């Protein structure tokens, strides 16, 4: 069986960047060298690992099978390096977290900053995108999700519940008809998600208001909040985000509110890696504490 860790590192870089040039930048190699290393790996395994398309290098079926093994080998090498170096008190290497932009903007900066301070040899990357991440392709090492996945070899741990409220800026409420019941929202502009770009059913809030139309919409939580702050209308906002915007106030706080949950999702194989277990514990503990702190301040 063909085995060369350096070539597997190149394979992982190409799979993640989907290009020879992107992999070259990450590894500080020229693209021609990256291409030769990929060709050597494909020759060793006797199968094409990538299919080149106008959008870049996509994994073939053989490449997808190799991806999970190569990623596990990468994590094992990182764990071995830390253990042999005697780094029992701190983490090192790189860990990438995928998260919806609400979590990424309002929770992860504080939590990850503290983890980085406590672990100076660790590099943390936050990928903030409103979509589902593929852990099989190792688009991220772990993912914050708003609903637990039901398929795949995954480890799922509930982190925390969180609350959402209707909110608007104070001066908008003063200048527009009073809102005393949900029915009163019919004459107000609603701010929310673009309906056909909602990537998780737990984000489909509109039905809870009894309305069918979102007049100002975005696939980004941050954009929605900024529209509400500019007096665009009424929207549903995370309570942990409200603490950052004293000008926003809850609407119908006694009669409307939503509760959702965050889940930490990892590849099942990563549970055997002490390094990833330690980071997951720090991340989960930090997120729970931060949600509680910000919701208390809102």
Residue 279 in any domain: the answer is no
Give the residue numbers spanning the domain of 2.
Answer: 1-65
Residue 74 in any domain: the answer is no
Residues 82 and 65: their CA atoms lie apart, in Å, by 27
Residue 26 in any domain: the answer is yes
Residue 213 in any domain: the answer is yes
DSSP state at residue 56? E
Last residue of a domain, one of 65, 86, 112: 65
160 versus 153: the higher-pLDDT residue is: 160
pLDDT in tens, 57-103: 988 999 888 887 887 777 777 666 656 655 556 788 889 999 998 99
pLDDT at 3: 60
Query: CATH number, domain at 244?
Result: 3.40.190.10
- Residues 6 or more apart whose Cβ sits within 8 Å of residue 76: 273
Tell me the pLDDT band of 7, cut-offs 50, 70 and 90.
confident
pLDDT at 210: 84
pLDDT at 273: 78
pLDDT in tens, 110-129: 999 999 999 999 999 999 87
Asked if 79 and 24 count as a contact pair (C-beta separation under 8 A), the reply is no
Residue 58 in any domain: the answer is yes
Query: CATH number, domain at 2?
Result: 1.10.10.10
H or E element that contains 235: strand 234-238
Work out the angle between the directed axes of helices 61-84 and 274-297 (0-180°, nearest 10).
Answer: 90
Last residue of a domain, one of 42, 65, 88: 65
Backbone φ/ψ region at 231: left (φ over 0), alpha (ψ -120 to 50), beta:
left
Residue 211 in any domain: the answer is yes
Residues 276 and 271: their CA atoms lie apart, in Å, by 7
Residue 84 in any domain: the answer is no
Asked if 173 and 163 count as a contact pair (C-beta separation under 8 A), the reply is no
Asked if 122 and 95 count as a contact pair (C-beta separation under 8 A), the reply is yes
Residue 181 in any domain: the answer is yes
pLDDT in tens, 245-288: 999 999 999 999 999 999 999 988 777 778 889 999 999 999 99
Residues 220 and 210: their CA atoms lie apart, in Å, by 22
Number of domain units in the chain? 2
Last residue of a domain, one of 43, 65, 87: 65
pLDDT at 78: 66
Q: What is the mean pLDDT of residues 142-168?
A: 91
Q: What is the mean pLDDT of residues 182-188?
A: 94
Residues 151 and 217: their CA atoms lie apart, in Å, by 30
């Amino acid at each position: 069986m063909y085995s060369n860790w350096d070539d597997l590192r190149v394979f992982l870089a190409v799979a993640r960047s989907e290009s020879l040039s992107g992999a070259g930048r990450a590894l500080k190699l020229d693209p021609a060298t990256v291409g030769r290393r990929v060709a050597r790996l494909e020759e060793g395994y006797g199968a094409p690992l990538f299919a080149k398309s106008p959008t870049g290098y996509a994994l073939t079926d053989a490449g997808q099978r190799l991806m999970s093994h190569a990623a596990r080998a990468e994590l094992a090498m990182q764990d071995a390096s830390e253990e042999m170096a005697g780094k029992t008190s701190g983490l090192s290497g790189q860990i990438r977290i995928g998260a919806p932009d609400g979590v990424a903007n309002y929770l992860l900066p504080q939590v990850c900053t503290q983890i980085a301070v406590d672990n100076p040899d660790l590099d943390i990357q936050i990928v903030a995108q409103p979509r589902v991440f593929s852990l099989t392709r190792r688009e991220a090492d772990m993912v914050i999700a708003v609903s637990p996945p039901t398929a795949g070899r995954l480890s799922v741990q509930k982190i925390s519940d969180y609350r959402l409220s209707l909110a608007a800026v104070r001066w908008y409420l003063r200048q527009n008809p009073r809102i005393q019941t949900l029915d009163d929202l019919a004459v107000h502009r609603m701010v929310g998600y673009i309906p056909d770009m909602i990537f998780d059913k737990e984000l489909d809030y509109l039905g809870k208001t009894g309305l069918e139309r979102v007049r100002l919409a975005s696939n980004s939580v941050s954009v929605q909040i900024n529209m509400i702050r500019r007096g665009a209308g009424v929207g549903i906002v995370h309570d942990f985000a409200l603490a950052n915007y004293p000008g926003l106030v809850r609407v119908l706080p006694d009669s409307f509110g939503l509760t959702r949950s965050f889940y930490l999702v990892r590849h099942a194989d990563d549970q055997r890696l002490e390094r990833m277990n330690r980071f997951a514990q720090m991340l989960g503990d930090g997120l729970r504490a931060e949600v509680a702190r910000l919701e208390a301040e809102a």
